Each structure stands twice: as structure tokens, then as C-alpha cells.
Amino acid sequence: MLFPDFRARRMRETSVFRRMIRETKLSCDDLILPLFVVKGKNIKKPIESMPGHYHLSCDNLVKIVKQAYSLNIPGVMLFGISDKKDSLATSAYDPNGIIQNAIKAIKDSVPEIAVLTDVCLCQYTVNGHCGIVYNGKIDNDTSIELISKIALSYAKTGADMIAPSDMMDGRVGEIREVLDKDGFSNVPIMSYSVKYCSAFYGPFREAANSTPKFGDRKTYQMDPSNQLEAVREATLDIAEGADIIMVKPALSYLDVIYRLKNEIDLPIAAYNVSGEYAMIKAGELMGWIDAKQIIMEILLSIKRAGADMILTYSAIEAAKELENQSL
């Protein structure tokens, strides 16, 4: 049936019709808010390249988490910013460490919200790499021993989900084994399975003080040219016990999200990363774009590509907009 018998615009004529046939719907349930935690009290230091985000001490962290929960955001992802760095990332698994104290503070104040903990070495090592460095190279197997040790420390403190972001081979299996042996078989793993070596991480590296002191991360993060490799990485992590597969970044890799959604049977997370967020905020500052509308369009595109959940620095803004749309 062709024009004039068929007119596609009929079902776009009113907002009610558009709502009735809408194929993709974004909700607060899709959102996870990343947050940066530092040691101390009464700290709320702006992150220059990420307007609206801060380095937060636990007291101020809890205030933001309460706001997120009041907006029906189901989870937060924690990143610790360490002031004590060494070659073996010892502050990462300190029982009285930054993330450990942050987990306790959130669970004491907002126990209903899910606390996800990023697990990596880059914020805690003097060299800024995601693995342990020996003779100028990343030692994979030594690194995963420490990564699993950090994961167990977070689980013991009360983390609801462990999210390894280091991209070391075998770390999901190592974490799963360690958690299971210590009685944490119920704690799921959200694996950064498909993490590309991307220029979009620039603002995050400033925020987390995790820029490598030498070289780059191309020997462990993925080549942006590759899509089939993403399927292979995801498949390996599933075999090792991952519960959720993440693609990072999101916006430039919607094709990868879509392919994984069609080829694996686990939930897909996508990380709407710092560089994507910073570009929107820069455009807003210059008065060139309607940031609110662009945020919602970007998140909808990530959802449409197949993501079941989206880690985004725009979570609070998006939740407020979704709340307004429902009124």
C-alpha cells in the first residue's frame, strides 16, 4: 500500500498517537550515576572539565546519592580518588579506604540504592596504568590477583555489584572465583568487557587523576576499529562468569551495542562517558545547543541501540526531565 492510500504521517499527527506507537522508551530505571569520592570532610570540589560534577567527600557524596534515589535512579557507580599511590595500589584494598568508607556511608543512609564499584588500579598506582607495571610492561597475571583482592574488599564492605574496568585477560574468572570462595556468590559482576582505547576518556582522567605516566593503554584496551573482537571479548567474559556486559564509550559505538544485543543473552550496559558529557556542556556554555534535549536524544539512541542500562553523568538531569514528562 503506497501513497496516497498509505500516509505515514497519520500516526505522527498528535502527541497521543506518537506516544501510542513509540518503539523505544527511556526511564529512570535505565540510569546509573557515576560519582567521584575523595578522603576528607565537607569537600565538594568542582571538576572543571565536567560541569555539574565534583570530587566529593563521603558526607557530600551521601547528599547526592539521596537526591539520585529521590529521582528513582536505581544505582550509583563509585570511583575513588586516592592521595596515597604506590606501585601495588595498596590503598585500593585498604579496609578503611576511600571506596570502602563510601560504601558504608551510602549503605547507612540510603540502603535501598544499588552501589556499584569500579575495580581498577589506575587511580591507585603511581604510574596511572590499569595493571601492575614490571620492566615497563603491564603484567597481566599479577594484576588480576590484585584486582580480585580489591573486588573482594569492596564486596566485604557491602558493594552490591563489582565492575572491573581494567581490561586484563582473565580478571572476571579470577574475581568470580575469589568472591565465590569467600561467600559472595550472590554479588554480580558487571564487566567492562568491551572497553575501547578512546580519546573520549580525557575529562575522566583529569577527574580521577589517572592519566598514564608513560605510554598509553593500547596494549589492553580495544582498538576502535574492531567490532568482531567485541563479540569475542564479551563471549570470553560470559564464559568466566560475567552477569552484565558493558560497552564503553557508548555514543561512537552504538553499532557494537546493537551487535552484542543480538548475539549474546546477557544484559548490556553502556557507558555514556566523560568526553561525550563534556562536549554537551561546552556547547551549552557557548549557547550553541539545547543541552537538555540533546542529553535525552543521546540517551534514547543508546537505549534504542540495545542497552539495558546506561551509566551517564547526565543521570540526574535526565531523571528530572523524565519526571517532568510524566506529570
pLDDT of residue 327 exceeding 70: no
| C-alpha grid cell, residue 229 | 573482537
pLDDT digits (tens, 9 = 90+) for 276-305: 999 999 999 999 999 999 999 999 999 999
Angle between helices 140-157 and 171-181 (to 10 degrees): 40
Alpha-helical regions (H) of 160-199: 171-181
End-to-end CA distance of the chain: 38
C-alpha 239 chain-centroid distance: 22
Is 248 a known active-site residue? yes
- Phi and psi at 159, nearest 5°, equal -60, 140
Residue 196 near residue 223 (C-beta atoms within 8 A): yes
pLDDT tens digits, residue range 68-86? 999 999 999 999 998 888 8
Catalytic residue among 248, 261, 281, 303: 248
Residue 44 a catalytic site member: no
pTM of the model: 0.94
Burial zone of 218 (CB within 10 Å; 0-12 exposed, 13-18 middle, 19+ buried): exposed
Give the pLDDT of residue 128. Answer: 72
Annotated catalytic residue within 39, 85, 195, 281: 195
71-124 pLDDT, tens digit each: 999 999 999 998 888 878 888 889 999 999 999 999 999 999 999 999 998 888
Q: What is the pLDDT of residues 198-225, one digit of tens each?
A: 999 989 877 766 677 666 778 889 999 9
Q: Before 4, cis peptide (omega within 30)?
A: yes
Query: d(Cα 121, Cα 217) in Å, to the nearest integer?
Result: 13
Phi and psi angles of residue 69, each rounded to the nearest 5 degrees, phi first: -65, -35
What is the average per-residue pLDDT within 147-165?
Answer: 97
Instruction: Look up the CATH superfamily of 24-326.
Output: Aldolase class I (3.20.20.70)
- Retrieve residue 34's grid coordinates: 557515576
pLDDT on residue 5: 86
